[in-house]
């Protein structure tokens, strides 16, 4: 079974492959709607990757910080990220 890091890395590498394909499609003057669909797919994958990484962060770093009594700064950090994520 893959570790969480391996899973996140594979997701990012898949997105990189999709981006390389988008560039190739643009260079080949492919149909704009096809290119746009690929852009939407990579955008969705990157959102999923980000959600996965943030979930792992909350399950490890954030949880550990609370157990050690210094979780408040991590909550502030997570709130800043969630504000960016929602835009």
* 31-37: average pLDDT: 98
Q: Which two tokens stand for residue 40?
A: 């939407």
Residue 34 — pLDDT band, cuts 50, 70, 90?
very high
Domain extent at residue 69: 4-85
| The pLDDT of residue 63 is above 60 | yes
* CA 60 to each of CA 43, 57, 66: distance values in angstroms, whole numbers, following the listed order: 26, 5, 10
**CATH classification at residue 42:** 1.20.58.1000
* Overall number of domains in the chain: 1
Calculate what percentage of the chain has a pLDDT beyond 90: 55
Secondary structure of 19-81 in HEC code, one letter for each residue? HHHHHHHHHCCCCHHHHHHHHHHHHHHHHHHHHHHHHHHHHHHHHHHHHCCCCHHHHHHHHHH
Residue 87 — pLDDT band, cuts 50, 70, 90?
confident
């Amino acid at each position: 079974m893959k570790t969480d890091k391996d899973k996140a890395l594979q997701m990012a590498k898949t997105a990189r492959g999709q981006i390389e394909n988008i560039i190739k499609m643009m260079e080949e003057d492919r149909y704009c709607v096809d290119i746009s669909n690929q852009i939407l797919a990579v955008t969705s994958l990157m959102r999923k990757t980000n959600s996965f990484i943030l979930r792992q962060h909350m399950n490890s770093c954030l949880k550990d910080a609370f157990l050690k009594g210094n979780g408040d700064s991590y909550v502030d950090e997570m709130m800043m990220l969630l504000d960016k994520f929602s835009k």
